[in-house]
Amino acid sequence: MNVNSKVKLNLTILFVTLYMFSAFFWWTYSLIRYGESEKVMRMEILQTDSIHAAGETSHNMIHGRFVSDATMPFIYNGKTIETDTVALKNYVLTKFPNYDINFKAGQQLSKSFHIFIKPSVIKAEHEKFRRKKAKWISEGATMGIIMLVISIAMFLFLNRILTVNQQQNNFLLAVTHELKTPVASAKLAIETAAREIPEEKTNQKKLLALADKNLMRLGKMMDHVLMITRLESIQRPHSEQIIVLQDMVTEVMEDIKSSIPDSATIDMQFEPDLAITGDRDQLGMALSNLVSNAVKYSKPGEEKIQIHTYIEKGRVALSVGDQGIGIPVSEKRNIFRKFYRIGDENTRGSAGSGLGLYLVSKILRQHKAIIYVEDNIPSGSVFKIVFRNKV
């Protein structure tokens, strides 16, 4: 199933938005659960400390710290202990500020008083948790709203970019298609005129040949623009067919031989029965560009091109080498960029648009093949393609 780029983008933004919302919800929920656990633990600690306070208070009562004649009697081991409840209460409130005490006169010591957590302390704990909960919820909601605004902005911005790019691609497709017809007509007219001009009018024939050559160059450039536009617009996947590598290379070289100088020599070596799957036209264009590039950057009259097919680490591979001027190490990562041309003056004098190698890399990327360049020996460069197909 072929899903266009806009749908993929929308699905990606939706997924990221839902994921972030889920993360913020879980974060807020976890903080609230943590706060509840903390509140319960603090209440348990306060309850435990009340037992400790009761024990310490009983100890002091037994040892007569709060004995007074005008107090409340308590019973301990059958004896009556007169205790100053005012002093006892002040002691508890001072020593244990989170607690209060009430009394039952005439009871056994263990039942004569009760130390409990102050209601104000319990209320303060609940209020503290309520404030924290409200803060966490507001923070989570704020982050969620910010994330929603960012997602909407990204959606609008990126969709706008895709729409503009699609409009540009459509414009290029339309213009290039419209240009191909007059260019083809002009080329046909030039060829017809060249046949009708007498042989002795060499100047006219040279001019027509030059015009025909430039029209051929223009047609090739338009083919590149068309192919790049189609690949970048992702209108449809490339066709899959079995391609015998040797047959494809032979056919491509036969197609482009008229555009290669007569001085060029092509050395082709094939590992037999190597086949790949892919789009024959696209891969043929990629190979044609590599060969044309190798010829272009070779010294005039010394164009020696090597095309080899072989096996590399269990995969089908193809290389196109030349003995030209070579590529500086610092430029090898850049040569596959769109419109990029090496800044050396030796190459600036050559015709080109910087689309050839970009188109090659784009085609091979869609075929899940890799391409890299190495130095040739003794001079020049070797472009190596390794296809995804295993032998």
List the domain boundaries for the chain.
5-142, 162-233, 241-390
Output the pLDDT for position 345: 43
Rounded Cα distance between 336 and 370, Å, is: 12
Using the 8-state DSSP alphabet, how is residue 239 labeled? P
Chosen CATH of 162-233 out of 1.10.287, 2.60.40, 1.10.357, 1.10.3470: 1.10.287
Q: CA distances (Å), 167 to each of 5, 221, 311, in order?
A: 14, 21, 43
Find out whether the peptide bond into 378 is cis, omega within 30 degrees of 0.
Answer: yes
Chosen CATH of 241-390 out of 2.130.10.10, 3.20.20.70, 3.55.40.10, 3.30.565.10: 3.30.565.10
Six-digit token string for 383: 């472009």
Output the pLDDT for position 228: 67
Six-digit token string for 142: 């704020």
Six-digit token string for 341: 């041309």
Helix, strand or coil, per DSSP, at residue 238: coil
Low-confidence ranges of the chain (pLDDT < 70): 1-5, 69-70, 106, 166-181, 224-226, 228-238, 339, 341-354, 389-391
What percent of the chain lies above the pLDDT cut of 70? Answer: 84
Reference 172, options 224, 241, 114, 240; nearest CA is 224
User: Rg for the chain (alpha carbons), in Å?
Assistant: 44
Output the pLDDT for position 172: 61
Whole-structure pTM value: 0.52
Rounded Cα distance between 387 and 311, Å, is: 10
Rounded Cα distance between 309 and 319, Å, is: 7
Reference 293, options 248, 330, 260, 255; nearest CA is 260
